[in-house]
A and B are shown apart, each in its own frame.
Chain A
Amino acid sequence: MTATAEPEVGKARLRKEDARLITGQTRWTDNIQLTGMLHMAVLRSPVAHARIRNIDCSRATAMPGVAVVLTGEDFAAEQGSLPCAWPITEDMKSPPAPALAVDQVNFAGEAVALVIADSPYRAADALAEIDVDYDELPVVLDLEEALRDTDLVHPDLGTNKCATWVFDSAEAGSGTNVEDEISSAEVVIERTFRQQRLIPSFMEPRSVVVDPSAGMFTIWSATQIPHILRWMLSAVTGIAEHKIRVIAPDVGGGFGGKLQVTPEELLCLLVARRMGRPVKWTESRTESMLSGHHGRDQIQKITLSARRDGTVTGLKVELLADMGAYLRLVTPGIPILGAFMFNAIYKFPAYRFVCTNVFTNKVPTDAYRGAGRPEATFAIERMMDELAVELGMDPMKIREMNWIKHEEFPFNTVAGLTYDSGNYEAATARAMELFGYDDLREEQARRRADGSAVQLGIGISTYTEMCGLAPSRVLGALRYGAGGWETASIRMLPTGKVEVITGTSPHGQGHETVWSQIVADRLGVPFEDVEVLHGDTASSHKGMDSYGSRSLAVGGTALVHAADKVLAKARTLAAHMMECDEADVEFASGSFSVRGTSTARTLSDVVLAAHVAHDLPEGMEPGMDADATFDPDNFSFPHGTHLCATEVDTETGVVKIRSYVAVDDVGTVVNPLIVDGQVHGGLAQGIAQALYEEAVHDEMGTLTTATFADYLVPSAADLPAFLTARTSTPATSNPLGAKGVGEAGTIASTPAVVNSVLDAVRHLGVRDIEMPLSPERVWTALQGRKADDAGEVAAGGLGSIDAQGGQS
């Protein structure tokens, strides 16, 4: 008999999956070994744009252990085109996207040939023996240059412009005309920001195993999207969907980088079909950086109009977004996800958003943590600071006077969304208190007056975002190729244990723990008695997988509904067993009782009775399982206030984060430990964009940051101790009240850091610094020079010092 237990929801449970993940007592895709398995290695183009004149595989084919060497010609008839599920406009240009290049390569890193061998070592050895003859073409890298169409990435398209997507509040009826507002404004501020290209640095490299035996194709992949992958692979290859089973075993991180149908997944499938033997491919880190999709990469021209008193009147956003060389699964839609977020928490009466998507000879871009929303949040939070500077107002004051007040919810935004709930005042008040805002401002003034070498800056980011992707009808209206519902099943086993099947696909977030907590609370069963099954299309036969902070708000709601169905049926059966009216049955702590009596049956008793089915009410089916699918009415809108204090060393340009306060309102929290983990990791990634990470291409289009020695991912040693706290305004769009937390830290933190650095050095004449704010860029800006003029110095070579050096 269960006593009244402490509620599971809200409890900081240690994650039940961690022991096996941390000790390696689990199955990652690369651990899978099958009898007779072959290994695939991929030869990648060293050049960014070229016609393939000839590929000579003869020497490679003769190498020991090599089964076959394959080129794009070999697959031309069967590989089709990798799918793009988000044609954002009717006239969007979408070039064919072969998994293996046939006659042309369009980015450095594109797959041009495969070696299939009996060991990964021999496959790698043979790559060096393939001889490819390239006829190099002009390389298109710069977005503005690309739009001149002088050189074309895809000559057949006749242009490098992929699509233009427009939202206008006057046309949509959600606001006034932005041009009118700008032309009549007292203050107009125009700025251009660059969102540098980033690389989603998940811990586990991508890996695929395909087993073609037993009359079907079983595919293990380190993916976020087993269900979508199965559907898309069937669509591309024509293999019947029921003959494909996709398994995402334990997956080590994704950040959107594994929200993809990759060339290598398709190629492993085609090779396995051709060879009739299992095939495995696992990438190296450099291969991952050269060929896995990248994120961000936009030029943002922003015009903001306001009155002299600080009231904003209009916002115009003109984006150029780099698609890279091809459109992957949701490439063109990523900047569009940002379209609804530039207006953020502020009451702009007029808004216009124009995004031009552009092809270049670079790795395709696609989802990366936040996907369009960090870009939008960065731009608007930078602009609010610029407006404050222009008007000589406190940056928090100007936000306060423009944001939606808590009593104004639900609020219809100028971008056409309805924010259901929020309390920006509460989150901000808590953050200001934790941060010690006034003391820091005093210290800042002191350091300025002293002319201290180390200056102090304060950065604000009062963000919101849209999560819980997504109402299916909205996705349809945006021309997205799938729905946004989610599903869950509960299997009540005869011994009272519970199996939960979810259509979400965790890859590090801790769903097993959280889903167990929800079920334990709802059904009154012990946390330990719940097992969560996921990521296998044979057991979780439908689902829309995990991305966009959707799992809890959408998938968790489906689970609540399924649990409620179990309880409803159990209640009927319990009444039958206790020979009472169903209206008199009470349920608490896993037990049914007859109101006002001591008669009771545990859920476990009722489940067993349903299972043996010896005595069921008339018409009741045996068993106590239930399924539910939930399609949300609305997005959820987490928000919060982040405050960052940085110390900028004006002599070296080094930025040190002194303190960071994050107060997030993610609605109801199921597991505070997991929420803190998501916030910490998110902050690390957002700070990394501000200060450290950047994918750099040279003028030939070669990625020069293709190792972790060059692409700087910060570790705990580089980050401050974060001070996190929460306010809670439950979402009204789902019964849990959950909003989602997977991306909040990343979205909020980048502008907080950059605003802070600029606040530290603005009085020294610095107006802007491009991300990432490397010490050299900061120092160069302080010298009043442009970064470009300073030259590249990071790797050594300093003539003046050599001349007087002491070693020779």
Chain B
Amino acid sequence: MIPAEFRYLFPSTVDEAVRMLADEGEDAKIIAGGQSLVPVLRMRLAAPTALIDIGGLTELTGVRDDGDSLLIGAMTTHYEVQRDHLIHDHALLLKLVTDTVADPQVRHRGTFGGSLCHADPAGDLLAPALALDAVMIIAGPGGRREVPAAEFFVDYFTTALAPDEILIDVRVPKYTGWGAHYEKLNRVAQAWSIVAVAAAVQVRGGTIEAARVGLTNVGSGPVRAVDVESALVGQPVSAIAEAALRASSGDGYKDNLARVLTGRALTAAVAG
């Protein structure tokens, strides 16, 4: 498997990367960790004329504390996310989801931002980003703009990023003290989910004060189970089983999984 010929560019600042994108035109592509793009190139499913490698932009790596929220650099690897104490303390769901991404090799190369931009509906990080109200911070020729996750994921492999824009940071509100769990059903460890459910809950004195539920691979993008979330607010923990039934109303296999895994994810989130 050999990719078609391309030009390789290696910017040293975000502004330079944005300029290169503009100069190269629509057939240029940003390469981050390469864990999705390289297979696509090798199978010749895509043949960009230029690859702009943002692996040298160290300003895009790492997690910062920004008051009420965390700022996660787009080039932060999954491995770094798994081990970051800010994420562990304030966005535990992201850590738990990232623990399940592919295999150790992929987690060392693949990046948080890259996964979101690839927008594979079976990708694990989309559902928690949506459920946790993450905000994408995007650099383009006109400067910076912010796009909430609910608007960022548009369709299969499609985001709100314009061809000349780069995702640089992801802002995630702090969910300090929330319970979290990712219930993932895949056939072998390195396979994509058939269905997975990301859940975070805030429980006080046995009462659920707030819940966030995101579903992986049940549509053309991540799906937030708002009906389940609202059915849980102010309810005792014992209400989970019934609320989870609102994750789907169909009778297909995936509908069933959505309900069953939502119940399990919430139950584990409350317990953990």
Contacts and interface: CB of A to CB of B under 8 A. Distances in A.
27 contacts: A651-B260, A652-B256, A652-B257, A652-B261, A709-B192, A713-B188, A714-B189, A717-B103, A717-B188, A718-B189, A793-B252, A795-B122, A796-B122, A796-B220, A798-B258, A799-B250, A800-B249, A800-B255, A801-B255, A804-B226, A804-B246, A804-B248, A805-B225, A805-B226, A806-B225, A807-B221, A808-B150
Interface string B188-227: 1111101000000000000000000001011111111111
Contact of B185 (A124, A285, A652, A801): A652
B4 interface: yes
B162 interface: no
Nearest to B187: A712
A215 interface: no
Given A284-B1, A796-B121, A807-B223, A717 B253 contact: no
Contacts of B188: 692, 712-715, 717-718
Interface stretch (A368-376, A749-757, A773-781): A773-781
A798 B153 contact: no
A791 interface: yes
A794 interface: yes
B254 interface: yes
B5 to A, nearest CB: 7
A120 B189 contact: no
A797 B187 contact: no
Contacts of A124: 2
A652 B247 CA distance: 15
A800 B248 contact: yes
B139 interface: no
Nearest to B130: A807
Q: Which 6 A-B pairs give the minimum distances between C-beta atoms?
A: A806-B224, A800-B250, A717-B189, A806-B226, A805-B223, A284-B1
A91 interface: no
B38 interface: no
Contacts of B217: 796
Given A286-B43, A806-B225, A796 B191 contact: no
Nearest to B150: A807
A794 B43 CA distance: 22
B252 A775 contact: no
A607 interface: no
A771 to B, nearest CB: 13
B218 A776 contact: no
Contacts of A798: 218-219, 248, 250, 252, 254-255, 258
Interface residues on B, range: 35 or more
Contacts of B260: 651-652
A120 B121 CA distance: 34
A176 B192 CA distance: 53
Nearest to B122: A796
Contact of A805 (B2, B190, B219, B250): B219
A801 B189 contact: no
A707 B192 CA distance: 13
| Residue from the set B150, B220, B253 with the largest chain A CB neighbour count within 10 Å | B253
Contact of B2 (A121, A653, A797): A121
Nearest to A794: B194
Contacts of A808: 150
A716 to B, nearest CB: 9
Contacts of A775: 185, 187, 194
A171 interface: no
Interface string B117-154: 00001100000001000000000000000000010010
A805 B191 CA distance: 24
B93 to A, nearest CB: 16
Interface in A762-804: 774-776, 779-780, 790-791, 793-802, 804
A79 to B, nearest CB: 26
A530 interface: no
Given A714-B188, A715-B188, A718-B188, A804 B255 contact: no
Given A125-B4, A285-B1, A796 B253 contact: no
A341 interface: no
Q: State the main secondary structure of chain B at its contact with A.
A: loop
A717 to B, nearest CB: 4
B211 to A, nearest CB: 12
Interface string B227-271: 101000000000000000011111011111110110000000000
Given A712-B191, A800-B255, A805-B224, 15 more contacts: A652-B185, A652-B257, A709-B191, A712-B187, A793-B252, A793-B254, A794-B194, A798-B254, A801-B223, A801-B250, A804-B226, A804-B246, A805-B225, A806-B226, A807-B150
A774 B187 contact: yes
A609 interface: no
A143 interface: no
Contacts of A594: none
A201 B251 CA distance: 36
A657 interface: no
Contacts of B219: 796-798, 801-802, 805
Interface in A647-702: 651-654, 692
Nearest to A805: B223
B187 A807 contact: no
A515 to B, nearest CB: 35
A415 B255 CA distance: 50
Contacts of A709: 191-192
Nearest to B195: A798
A125 B185 contact: no
B17 to A, nearest CB: 26
A783 to B, nearest CB: 9
Contacts of B153: 807
A807 B194 contact: no
B266 to A, nearest CB: 15
A791 B189 contact: no
Contacts of A801: 215, 218-219, 223, 247-248, 250, 254-255, 258
Contacts of A791: 252
A713 B150 CA distance: 35
Contact of B253 (A780, A797, A804, A806): A780
Contacts of A804: 225-227, 246, 248-249
Interface in A260-289: 284-286
A193 B77 CA distance: 47
Given A709-B192, A718-B188, A807 B222 contact: yes
Contacts of B255: 798, 800-801
A779 B187 CA distance: 14
A715 B187 CA distance: 11
A692 B258 CA distance: 22
Interface in B2-17: 2, 4-5
Contacts of B247: 801
A806 B194 contact: no
B223 A120 contact: no
Contacts of B5: 121, 125
Contacts of B223: 801-802, 805-807
A790 B249 contact: no
Given A798-B219, A800-B255, A801-B215, A692 B250 contact: no
B185 to A, nearest CB: 6
A775 B121 CA distance: 20
A713 B217 CA distance: 21
Nearest to B224: A806
A37 to B, nearest CB: 16
